[in-house]
Structure 1
Amino acid sequence: MVGLIEQALRSLKMEKSSFATVGRRTPKRMNHWFKWLAPGLLIKRWLLISTTGILCAVLGLAIWVGLTPIYRLMGFASDILETIARILPSYISGPLAIALGLFLVFWGQSRSFGSIAGVLKPESDEELIDVLTAHRRLNRGPKIVAIGGGTGLSTLLRGLKEYSANITAIVTVADDGGSSGRLRREIGVLPPGDIRNCVAALAAEEKLLTELFQYRFNAGDGLSGHSFGNLFLTAMSEITGDLETAIAASSKVLAVKGSVLPATLADVRLWAELEDGRRIEGESNIPKAEGKIVRLGCLPANPPALPAVIKAIKEADFIIMGPGSLYTSVIPNLLVPDIRDAIAKKKVPRIYVCNIMTQPGETDGYTVSDHIRAIDRVCDRRLFDAVIVQGSSPSAQSLIRYAQDNSHPVFLDREAVTQLGRRIVPANIMDEDRETGYVRHNHQRLAKVLLRWYEKTHGFKFQ
C-alpha cells in the first residue's frame, strides 16, 4: 500500500495536464489498493496485532512508572478538542482530523511496503501485492508428480509451474549419450542432462537460465561439446556428495518452483530385446538399432527408488506420465519397482500424455493403444486412467518433413484404447514451426488441458 499513495499523488498532479488519462488509470489503481484487503494474504492481521502490541506496551510502561496515563490522556485530549472547537467548527475539524489520520496511516504503510518490495523485487515493475497473491495461489495448488525425461518433461513443467508450486519431477537417469554420457563414463556421475533441462524449466528466471544451462562449449581441451548446466550439476554433485543433494542445493540458488528428483541413484543401464532376437544395451544405442522393441529392462535389475520419490508419489494429488520418448524417457522410470508399485496404489487422477509423432527406432508405426500396451506390459498392470492425444494432424509441410525420417503422426485407434479401459482426452496441444516443420507440445495449452481434466475428476478449482 506504500507505493500506492505516492503513485496516487502523482496521478493527481497529472490530472492538470490530462484528466482523461487519469480517468482511465484510476479504476485500475483503486482495484490494486483493494487487493490488500483480500483475505488470505496474512498481512492485515499481523499489522493489526503489531499495532495493538505497541499500544499495549506503551500503555503498560506508562502505568508502570506511575503516570496514570488514562486520565492524563483523557484530559490532554479534552483540552486539544476544546481548543480546536474554538478555532474550527466540528463539521470542519472532524473530517480534517480523520483525513490527516488516514493519510498518515496510508503513507506509513506505503513506505513500509515499498521498502519490502524494493528488497524482494528490486528490478521488477511487478507490484508486491501481485507477487504475494501469485505466491499464495501457487502454494495452494495441487501436489503434482510428473514422470519422464528428455525435452518432453521439461516442456510439461514449463506449463505446470504457472498453476502450482507443488510440483515434483521424477527424471530418468538412463541417458548415456552426448555430454551426459561422457561425464558418466569419465567421472562416474549420474547423467545430468535431463535433470538440467527440468531444473531450468522450473526456475524463476527461466529464459536466461535455460540459455545458460544449454550453452555448449565449442572449444577447449575436454570442454568441447559439454553444456554448462551438465558441468554445473556435476560439480555440485562432487561438492555435496550425491546428485540428489546437488539438485536440492541448485534449486535453492536458482529459485526453482517445485523439486526435481532422479528416479534412482543406481548407475542404471538400459537394454532392449528386439523382435529379431537382438539384445541392445545402452539408451543411446536402442533407437539406432532400428528394430521393433519387444522387451525393455535395465542393469542392475530392479534398482531401488529414491525415498523422496516414493514420498512424493504417496502425497501426490495428480500424477502425469510423459510426454517423451516412450522406451528411453518414460518407461525407464517405471523399471524401478517401488515407483510403479507406489503409482498403482494411488487413487488419484493419473494420466499419460501421448507423443504427437512416432519416433524412429522406438515407436515406428505405433498407435496410441500401442503406447499404452507398452507401458502396461512393462508394469504388468494399469498405471493411468486417461490419455491425452493431439486432436488434429500437422500440416502437409510437417508431414513431408517427418516422412523423410520415417516418422508419422501417432494414430488414435479409439476402439482399441477404449477396450484397454482408458479415457481419451483429445486436445489441440501442438506447436508447429513453419520454417523447420518440427512439431512440439505447446506447454501452455498442454498444462491448461491437464489442469482442466484434473478439475473435472477431482473437483479442484484454480483461481
Structure 2
Amino acid sequence: MKCNITTIGGGTGTFHVLSGLGKNPELNLAAIVSMADSGGSSGELRDEFGILPPGDIRRAIVALSGDTEIVRRLFEYRFKEGSGIAGHTVGNLLLTALSDIMGNFERGIEELSVMFDVRGKVIPVTLDDVSLGVTLENGEQIIGETHIDMPMRDVGIPIQEAFLLGGGRLNPRAREAIENSDYIIIGPGDLYTSIVPNLLCAGMGEALGAAHAKIVYVCNIMTKRGETDGFAVEDFVRVVERYLGPGRLNYLLVNSGALRPDLVEKYRAEGKTPVVLRDRAALMASGIKVIERDFTSATDYIRHDPHKLARTVEDFASGWIK
C-alpha cells in the first residue's frame, strides 16, 4: 500500500521537498500551498485579475511535473521585456488564463496539472483572498507578505505574532488531504512568510490536531533577516508549535552537515546566520524525535538538497524511522 504524504508550506522550500519526492512512485503526494504571496508577478496578477496568488502553486506544479525538461523551462520562463508581461512567468499567465476559462482557481490548477503530467495533488491552503500581517514587539504592524519578506524597517525589532486579514478558512480539499495523510511535512521555508500563513488558516489547527498522521517539521539551515534573526532550532520549533499546538510535532529534521565557510560569510553579509541546535536532549524530552543528518546541497547556495530530504522522508514511509 502506498504511503500518503502531504507537504505544507510555500516558496522554494516546498519546491525542493516535492522535487525530490516526486520521483518515487510508491508515494501518494499532496502539496498544501500558502496563499499569502503578495509580491512580484503573483502580486500584480492578484491585483489586476483578482486571482489568488499563482507563484507558489506554479512552483509546486513544476516540482511534481513529468520529466520533460523543455516543458519545465517553458513553464518557468520569465519575460524580461514587453508591455504588460515583463516580469511574469509563462506558468503564472497560464494559471491565470485557465482559472478564467474554467471558472475558478482550483479548476485552473486541475487542468494545468493534467497538462503538465503532475504526479500528486496541488492544493491552495485557502480559497479566501487573504493578506498576511505581523505585529512587532513594539506594537507596530506590517501588512503584506512582500513587506515582511523584504523588510524596509528596523530588523532589530522582533516579530511578536502573525495574523491573516480577509478570512483564511481552510480549503476543504486541504482538510481532506490532512485527514488521509500518513505523514505531514511542514517546511522548510521562510518561517513567517511561507510556513506560518498556512497554520493561521481557520480550521487548520483542528484538522492537524485530529489527524492520525505523524507531523514532521524540517527546520531551516539559515536564519532570515527580519524574520528569524538570531534564531536557534528551538526558536523555530517554539513558533511552529505556537500555531500548530503544543505536543503535536512528532519529528524534527535538523541539518548536521558542514557549511562552506565562504558561503557562510556571503550569507552573513546579507544578515543570515547558520541555525544551531542548542539542546537536543531537551527537545527529545518534550516528545519530539530529532533526526540530525546532512541535508545540505552541493551548490553555491546554502539550501536543502531535494534528494537528501527525499531519502529521509522515504525512511519514514518505509518504517525505517519510527
Q: TM-score, normalised by structure 1?
A: 0.66
- The equivalent of 1:344 in structure 2 is 209
More moved, 443-452 vs 171-180: 443-452
Retained in 2: the 8 A contact 1:333–1:339? yes
1:443 and 2:309 are equivalent in the alignment: no
Per-residue deviation, 1:450: 1.6
How far the C-alpha of 1:276 sits from its partner, in A, is 2.1
Please tell me the root mean square deviation across aligned C-alpha atoms, in Å.
Answer: 1.6
3-state SS in 1 of match to 2:303: strand
Aligned pairs (5 A) from 1:150-169 = 150-163=11-24, 164-169=26-31
The aligned counterpart of 1:264 is 126
Counterpart secondary structure, 1:361: coil
Distance 1:419 1:369, change over 3 A: farther
String of CA shifts for 1:136-164, please: whole Å, max 9, x gaps. xxxx4311111100011011001112224
The structure that is helix-richer by fraction is 1
Q: Which residue of 1 aligns with 2:283?
A: 417
Contact 2:181/2:212 (8 A) holds in 1: no
Whole-angstrom distance in 1 between the partners of 2:320 and 2:250: 11
Contact 1:183 1:191 in 2 (8 A): yes
- Does structure 2 conserve the Cα–Cα contact (< 8 Å) formed by 1:203 and 1:209? no
Equivalent pair of 1:368/1:417 in contact (CA under 8 Å): no
The 1:214–1:390 alpha-carbon spacing in structure 2 relative to 1, beyond 3 Å, is: same
Matched residue, 1:279: 141
Following superposition of structure 1 onto structure 2, how do residues 110-125 of structure 1 map, counting pairs within 5 Å? none
Moved more, 157-166 or 437-446: 157-166
Report the CA distance between 1:416 and its aligned residue.
4.1
- CA distance in structure 2 between the partners assigned to 1:230 and 1:172 by the alignment: 15
- 1:321 is aligned, of 186, 189, 195, to 186
Does the aligned pair in 1 maintain the 2:5–2:28 contact within 8 Å? Answer: yes
Q: State the number of aligned residues.
A: 316
Query: Where has structure 1 moved over 6 Å in runs of 4 or more?
Result: none
Q: Secondary structure at the match of 2:127?
A: coil
Matched, 1:361 2:233: no
Q: Structure 2: which 5+ runs fail to align?
A: none
- Cα deviation for residue 457 of structure 1 reads 6.6
Richer in strand (by share): 2
Q: 1:431 aligns with which of 281, 284, 297?
A: 297
- 1:149 alignment partner, one of 10, 29, 46: 10
Amino acid at match of 1:159: G
Structure 1 unaligned blocks of 5 or more: 1-139
Q: Equivalents in 2 of 1:342, 1:457: separation in Å?
A: 27
Structure with greater contact order relative to length (CA < 8 Å, sep ≥ 6) = 2
Structure 1 distance, partners of 2:47, 2:290, is 42
Could you list the per-position Cα deviations for residues 399-435 of structure 1 after superposition, in whole angstroms to 9, with x for gaps in the alignment? 11111011111111224423443111001111142xx
Normalising to structure 2: TM-score of the pair? 0.94
Contact 2:205 2:243 in 1 (8 A): no
- Matched residue type, 1:412: L
**Alpha-carbon deviation of 1:377?**
1.4
The alpha carbon displacement at 1:224 in A equals: 0.6
Residue 253 (structure 2) aligns with: 388
Amino acid at match of 2:11: G
Superposed counterparts of 1:55-204, under 5 Å? 140-163=1-24, 164-204=26-66
Bigger Rg, structure 1 or 2: 1
Taking only the aligned residue pairs, the percentage that are identical comes to 38
Note if 1:297 corresponds to 2:160. no
Matched, 1:403 2:265: no
Taking the TM superposition and a 5 Å limit, the aligned residue runs for 1:13-52 are none
Establish whether residue 237 from structure 1 lines up as the match of residue 103 from structure 2.
Answer: no
Give the secondary-structure state (helix, strand or coil) at the position aligned to 1:332: helix
2:315 paired with 1:452: yes
